């Protein structure tokens, strides 16, 4: 808790009265949302006490206080992954700090491999449930009673109302055919999966696979924060569609989906 309070105490005066309503975490290759923001304050992660610093080239490292669709948001421009060598507590520290700074809902994006056979490049998947295959989770250890209960319920980790609003927004924006719901499985990475592992992940009920999101969502659920999480499908992992992927391909495909992701997030946030 002390680490959380130190970070929060550092950030709050820098916001100069800006009261954030929502938090947004931008995933791999999904940073272009930033150009739709009216930015009030940019706080480099490196300046914040106890904040980890992104080691992944495709992620920048700033906390932005900004407006999107007329609402006040904190945006994590770059997130942290377990494969970078951080502890799970470090991975979720920014989410906990955003909650202590006042956010009431959390919006998360990521790049993911599509396991469902009908998926196409650049589709969006609204995450309706998840499977945690990370080797650990952020709630292991002494419970932070100030944040939430020892045994949080996980029956509805993704808020049903936000999911419905996102689906309705996709319909009114005219790209409902590019948006589906599904189950996200989080794996440690950093290597992608073998063909046998992709078949296994499909068999256990996943529609998309990635290396993030679930730790942050567990921390959010622990704190009672409603979550909307969206995967951008950057590679196809059904057995007949597998091919070698390079990070450059993943970034290109994420960029192609970006306008839809941004429009969807903005439309949902405007309605809150």
Q: Which of 84, 123, 193, 207 binds ligand HPA (CB under 6 A)?
A: 193
Contact call for residues 185 and 208 (beta carbons, < 8 A) = yes
The residue number whose beta carbon is nearest to ligand HPA equals: 113
Nearer of residues 25 and 269 to ligand HPA, judged by Cβ:
25
SS3 66: strand
Residue tagged 């938090």 (tokens): 23
Choose between 25 and 73: whose C-beta lies nearer to ligand HPA: 25
Per-residue mark of binding to ligand HPA, 227-246 (x: CB under 6 A): -------xx-x---------
Q: How far apart are CA 214 and CA 208, in angstroms?
A: 12
β-strand 124-132 against 208-210: which pairing, if any?
unpaired
Closer to ligand HPA at the Cβ: 209 or 214?
A: 209
Verify binding: residue 250, ligand HPA, rule CB under 6 A.
yes
In sequence order, what DSSP letters do the residues of 86-148 get, joined into one string?
--HHHHHHHHHHHHHTT--EEEEEEEEEE-STT--TT-EEEEEEEEE-SS--TT-SS--TTT-
- Determine the interface stretch with ligand HPA among 87-95, 134-142, 170-178, 207-215 (rule: CB under 6 A): 207-215
Report the alpha-carbon distance of residue 257 to residue 110 in Å, rounded. Answer: 11
Q: How far is the CB of 105 from ligand HPA (least distance, A)?
A: 25
Chain residues 92-131 in contact with ligand HPA, contact rule CB under 6 A: 111-113
Residues that bind ligand HPA (CB under 6 A): 111-113, 187, 189, 192-193, 209-211, 234-235, 237, 250
């Amino acid at each position: 808790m002390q680490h959380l309070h130190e970070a929060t105490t550092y950030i709050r005066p820098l916001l100069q009265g800006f009261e954030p309503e929502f938090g947004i975490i931008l995933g791999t290759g999904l940073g272009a949302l930033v150009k739709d923001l009216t930015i009030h304050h940019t706080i480099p992660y490196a300046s914040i006490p106890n904040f980890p610093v992104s080691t992944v080239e495709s992620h920048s490292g700033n906390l932005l206080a900004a407006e999107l669709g007329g609402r006040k948001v904190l945006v994590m421009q770059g997130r942290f992954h377990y494969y970078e060598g951080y502890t799970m507590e470090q991975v979720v520290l920014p989410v906990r700090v955003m909650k202590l700074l006042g956010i009431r809902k959390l919006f998360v994006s990521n790049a993911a491999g599509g396991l469902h056979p009908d998926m196409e490049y650049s589709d969006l998947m609204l995450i309706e449930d998840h499977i945690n295959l990370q080797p650990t989770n952020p709630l292991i250890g002494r419970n932070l009673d100030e944040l939430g209960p020892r045994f949080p319920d996980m029956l509805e980790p993704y808020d049903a109302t936000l999911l419905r609003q996102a689906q309705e927004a996709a319909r009114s924006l005219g790209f409902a055919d590019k948006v589906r719901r599904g189950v996200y499985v989080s794996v440690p990475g950093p290597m992608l999966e073998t063909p046998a592992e992709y078949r296994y992940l499909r068999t256990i009920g996943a529609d998309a696979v990635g290396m993030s999101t679930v730790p942050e969502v567990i921390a959010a659920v622990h704190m009672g924060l409603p979550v909307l999480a969206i995967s951008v499908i950057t590679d196809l992992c059904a057995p007949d569609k597998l091919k070698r992927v390079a990070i450059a391909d993943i970034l290109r495909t994420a960029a192609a989906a970006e306008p839809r992701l941004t429009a969807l997030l903005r439309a949902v946030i405007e309605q809150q």
